[in-house]
Amino acid sequence: MKLLTTLALFGLAGVVASQPTETVRRYYPEVMRADLAVLWSTIGTSHPDPYRYHTPAEMDALVDSVRDGLLLPLDAEGFINALMPVLRAVGDAGTELLPLQALNESYLHTEPLFPISVAVVEGKLYLHDELKGFQSLPPGCELVTINGVAGTNVLKALRAGLAPEGANITRQDRRIEQDFPLLYRRFVGVPDRFLVHFRDGEGNEGERTLFAITGDQIQQFHRKQGLELQPWRLEEFPDTRSAWLTLSTLEPKALADAKVVPDKYLNTVLDALRKNNCRTLVIDLRGAGGTDLAIAEQVFAMVAQEPYRMVSAISINTGEVPEGYAGPAPEFYSTVGSLYLPMQDGRRMLRPEDPRLMHLLPMAKAFSGKVYVISNGATTGAGAAVVMVAKRSGRARIVGEEAGSNAASFCGGRTLDVALPGSGCHLVFPLTRYVPNGIPEGALDHGEMPTYPVGRMPEDVAKGKDTVRDMLLLLMEELK
């Protein structure tokens, strides 16, 4: 934190005005160019796969073009937008350039926000919920225009503000659903009111005006319906001898906070499945991410029928400690020499004898019935790894959307956080590249593709229905 504070203070030298607010603070071109040089040098040294889609010469030419375009003073968001072509070309959704902490705090607490959440269905925006305590718009209506801008163009602007995972649009769309008020504020505009032209499920059209409120007010006024559910939970359906296992996260800290011990929980699940003579298991991994593949290994071991491994290779970049980094903990770098081979072809590969590359055994008395795994664009990291091994081993049928992590190789694990010295913006990206075991189907710039593609339908948004769940429950009823 002392380092970040020092860098933030140093960044004030590049401010046009002496004491502007964070939302109007501007930076001179020479400051932004210096920050771009730091950003690209750091990515080239520490990002595990910076040239997945473009050659070094192509990336250098793009960086030079972006640098030459920095001609006028810009605020933090303008600077980030100017550098987005570089992040889009890297093609790793985990690589982000974020505003300095003070501006992030204002977004969370004091900046006016659009108080709705949305569903992105078939390239259009639909109302998911209103976050102000009362209903102004018809449930699930299509947002045809917002302040005169077509909903499709709003969606286009939001997608453009997010670094993609290759050509995987579904990951961007699920992120938009998670963070719509913040992303609208950052990438579309900051009006104090929103004239919404809508179309309801019956085809009727109308207009309503919604007023902006702050993030703190959203927290105060909006109350989630129902009880807070555990991140891991099992539902049993004795009539169809089936069960539904929801794993909404595979992140170790989130599970620890919820007091979920993965191996103990999964053994309890197996006991319940045996007791009820379960024949079909659905593992719902929608929205599940995680930085530790060990948890993915435990999840798949519960249903595996033969030895397996999650990844065939793991690599990093140079393993050199970049200047000005704020994380991860230094031990990541201190172990590089003993765990990874010397640099070759732009990578340092994990030693082949490392346990993370070994084949693993299924759990004792692993579930042997039929398995369906549900994924969507927000299924990333460890969650996506389960999807990949489940499909490629032939153990499960995948239902839903393509997973959010690249099917050929994806970046994850511990992240690096570097505060750029001039602007104070934060460059954040993962440090490890994983090559999943087996061969993916489909294009190599997409996530693992489902066996049965099933997406949400507009009419189900209005009714609050879960299209995938309803389809699978009906299927299990027919198969009983």
Token output for 389: 């091994």
Q: What is the 3-state secondary structure (H, E, C) of 123-154?
A: CEEEEEEECCCCCCCCCCCEEEEECCEEHHHH
45 and 120 in one domain? no
- The C-alpha atoms of residue 297 and residue 295 are separated, in whole angstroms, by 5
462 and 439 in one domain? yes
CB 347 within 8 A of CB 288: no
Residue 227 falls inside a structural domain: no
192 and 130 in one domain? yes
Residue 177 falls inside a structural domain: yes
143 and 95 in one domain? no
72 and 155 in one domain? no
83 and 190 in one domain? no
247 and 341 in one domain? yes
Residue 218 falls inside a structural domain: no
CA dihedral sign of residues 318, 356, 330, 91? positive
CA dihedral sign of residues 20, 24, 30, 34? positive
Q: Among candidates 412, 443, 77, 442, which has minimal Cα distance to 250?
A: 412
- The C-alpha atoms of residue 272 and residue 133 are separated, in whole angstroms, by 40
Residue 310 falls inside a structural domain: yes
3-state secondary structure of 112: strand
> Of 53, 70, 100, which residue constitutes the final position of a domain?
100
Q: Among candidates 171, 77, 192, 174, which has minimal Cα distance to 117?
A: 174
* Locus of tokens 């794993």: 247
pLDDT of residue 19: 37
3-state secondary structure of 463: helix
251 and 349 in one domain? yes
Please state the length of the chain: 480
- Which residues sit opposite 360 in a β-bridge? 308
Token output for 419: 């505060």
Token output for 135: 């209903």
Burial class (CB in 10 A: 0-12, 13-18, 19+), 276: middle
For the chain, the domain total comes to 3
pLDDT of residue 16: 31
pLDDT of residue 14: 35
Q: Residue 348 maps to which CATH number?
A: 3.90.226.10
- The C-alpha atoms of residue 443 and residue 404 are separated, in whole angstroms, by 14
Torsion of CA 438, 443, 447, 449, to 10 degrees: -80
321 and 418 in one domain? yes
Q: For residue 145, what are the domain limits?
A: 115-211
Structure confidence by residue, pLDDT tens digits, 433-447: 999 999 998 899 999
Structure confidence by residue, pLDDT tens digits, 42-88: 999 999 999 999 999 999 999 999 999 999 999 999 999 999 999 99
CA 287 to chain centre: 8
Residue 226 falls inside a structural domain: no
Q: Residue 187 maps to which CATH number?
A: 2.30.42.10
CB 437 within 8 A of CB 387: no
CB atoms within 10 A of CB 453: 11
- Residue 236, H or E segment: strand 232-237
* Side-chain half-sphere exposure of 308, counting CA atoms within 13 A: 28
- The C-alpha atoms of residue 77 and residue 99 are separated, in whole angstroms, by 7
pTM above 0.95, yes or no: no
3-state secondary structure of 312: strand
Residue 221 falls inside a structural domain: no
189 and 127 in one domain? yes
Residue 223 falls inside a structural domain: no
- Residue 454, H or E segment: none
338 and 249 in one domain? yes
416 and 270 in one domain? yes
Q: Which positions of the chain have pLDDT values less than 70?
A: 1-24, 223-228, 324-330, 480
CB atoms within 10 A of CB 177: 21
Residue 108 falls inside a structural domain: no
